[in-house]
Amino acid sequence: MRLYERFLKGGVPEYLARYYWWAYLWEKSIWFFDHQPIINAILFGQYDTLLKKTLAQVEARPGAQLLQLTCVYGKLTPSLLKHTGNEVHLCDVAVGQLNLARSKTLEASGQCHLARMNAETLGYADDAFDQAIVFFLFHELPTQARQHVYDEIARVVKRGGSVLVTEYGSTPHRHWLYRFAPFRWLLGRLEPFLPGFWQEDVNAKLSEALQKRGKALAGEPQVEHCFARFYRVMRFDLL
């Protein structure tokens, strides 16, 4: 039995166990990575900037129903709860991640609803949410899983709602990190689906998924870049 196969239980997708057991499924790594300095270092010191830009685009209309698609390390979820005052539904396929999220949201447990789910096949009703928030998930998904997630977002976000995506930018050919070959090699090893995501037209993918549901985007997304376009925050509004 290979090491990663030990983590293949309870509906955990194969790619998650195979490529990311060391990041999201192993209890020691869950403890290790959920320290603010660590997660900030992984994002090259950009965590607070990205958090601020993301929170600025979060739907704060009273009563809006928010979906945070999968757990994240660091303070995003508690910040989201404080920032909006709205209910946040948070789903993830990994029990350890949900437990961690619970420990960080105890004070707001009535406002934060956790559920174990695969983001590719969500159990929420059609048009259940005013906004879906997707923080660094897409680049960790294989192409087909990404497609399923676009489709599910298009299904559960209602007309007039929005999709907020915080992610890597498109292929950063000119960025000094990308031009440094050993770093590019390392990133490719640690994040095997990132090169595919770098090339993906998120706008087109989301538009196609919405079209299948008879929905559409209300024009171009609002995009904010940071770290010389290495990262971006995109808000897509639906008609």
Closest C-alpha among 199, 228, 183, 175 to residue 46 = 228
Strand partners, 165: 134, 234
Axis-axis angle for helices 95-104, 76-84 (nearest 10): 50
Whole-angstrom CA distances from 71 to 42, 62, 118, 176 are 16, 23, 12, 30
Among 13, 142, 169, 192, binds ligand SAM (CB under 6 A): 13
Shortest gap between Cβ of 119 and ligand SAM (angstroms)? 4
Among 7, 16, 90, 226, binds ligand SAM (CB under 6 A): 16
Shortest gap between Cβ of 147 and ligand SAM (angstroms)? 12
Note the Cα 198 to chain centre separation in Å.
Answer: 15
Cβ(90)–Cβ(77) below 8 Å: yes
| The Cα angle at residue 158 between residues 153 and 161, in degrees rounded to 5 | 90
Among 92, 130, 151, 200, binds ligand SAM (CB under 6 A): 92
- 140 forms part of the interface with ligand SAM (CB under 6 A): yes
Per-residue mark of binding to ligand SAM, 146-175 (x: CB under 6 A): ------------------------------
Closer residue to ligand SAM (CB): 117 or 238: 117
Closer residue to ligand SAM (CB): 139 or 229: 139
Cβ(221)–Cβ(235) below 8 Å: yes
Closer residue to ligand SAM (CB): 73 or 227: 73
Shortest gap between Cβ of 137 and ligand SAM (angstroms)? 4
- 97 forms part of the interface with ligand SAM (CB under 6 A): yes
Count, residues in the chain: 239
- 93 forms part of the interface with ligand SAM (CB under 6 A): yes
Closer residue to ligand SAM (CB): 43 or 238: 43
Whole-angstrom CA distances from 144 to 12, 147, 148, 230 are 16, 5, 6, 24
The footprint of ligand SAM (CB under 6 A) covers 13, 16, 24, 39, 70-74, 92-94, 97, 118-120, 135-137, 140, 145
